[in-house]
Amino acid sequence: MSAKEEILGRIRSALADAPAAEEVPREYRTSSDMSEEQLIEMLVDRLVDYKAGVDVIDAAQIPDFVAAKLGKAASVVYPHGLDTVWLSALPQGIARRIDTPGARLSVAELDETSAVVTSSAVSIAESGTIILDGEPDQGRRAISLVPDHHVCIVPVSTIVQLLPEAMPRLTVTRPLTWISGPSATSDIELERVEGVHGPRVLDVLLVRGL
């Protein structure tokens, strides 16, 4: 018998006469009736409160806004599935690095990169949370966590109000990244420190018609 089998056997034995677990009540809200404009307003309010930069734009404006956000960047990384039209207005002086499954940038290379541009999967207005799920237009987790500046494209069509509305849209076994504002943490003295667990600067473009 392996150690694993022995441990599981002991657990089963200990639970043999345990009472049946009570059914967990699930009376929380699972849907909302907010309009698109109300969802945008709520998400903007939460993101601004988290000290993120937020703009509400149309799809045709993405290249210009991405260029404006990254005007002072020396280099930018983007996932292999990102629409490169979104980067078409970047100044020529900004070095572009693409991260692909077959040619991944090292942590050192990502650390030397000024910024990252990704899309997103789902955003929760009530908590101000943007979720990335590793799709080709979002890339692996490292590229959105190591560079100091993250420009995140959020299609308005992917905004929901509540967490229970977001979960059915996600495959929970995938590597999910949940973003609620720029990286920030506090020590026991409540001293705020930014950039420890991710980008210090988060710019969010909420895009209508996408």
Structure tokens at 129: 């949370």
Supply the pLDDT for residue 101: 93
Distance CA 15, CA 81 (A): 49
* Per-residue pLDDT, 145: 94
Per residue in 119-131, pLDDT (tens digit) is 999 999 999 999 9
Tell me which of 36 and 14 has the higher pLDDT: 36
pLDDT of amino acid 78: 97
Instruction: Report the C-alpha dihedral over residues 130, 133, 136, 142, rounded to 10 degrees.
Output: 80
Per-residue confidence band for 195, with pLDDT thresholds at 50, 70 and 90 = low
Tokens of 118: 């990704």
The pTM of the full predicted model, rounded to 2 decimals, is: 0.85
Label residue 14 exposed, middle or buried (CB < 10 Å: 0-12, 13-18, 19+).
Answer: exposed
Of residues 149 and 194, the one with the higher pLDDT is 149
Give DSSP secondary structure letters for the chain. Answer: --HHHHHHHHHHHHHTTPPPPPPPP--S-------HHHHHHHHHHHHHHTT-EEEEEEGGGHHHHHHHHTTT-SEEEEETTS-GGGGTTS-TTSEEEEEBTTBPPPHHHHHT--EEEE--SEEETTTTEEEE---TTT--HHHHHSSSEEEEEEEGGGEESSHHHHGGGS-TTS--EEE-SS-EEE-TT--EEESSSS-SEEEEEEEET-
Q: What is the mean pLDDT of residues 34-55?
A: 96
C-beta neighbour count of 21 within 10 angstroms: 6
Whole-number percent of the chain with pLDDT over 70: 98
The reported pLDDT for the residue numbered 179 is 95
Are 182 and 50 in contact by the 8 Å Cβ rule? The answer is yes
Residue 17, pLDDT score: 84
Report pLDDT digits (tens) over 129-182.
999 999 999 999 999 999 999 999 999 999 999 999 999 999 989 999 999 988
**N-to-C CA span, the chain:** 56
Looking at the chain, the whole-number percentage of residues with pLDDT higher than 90 is 78
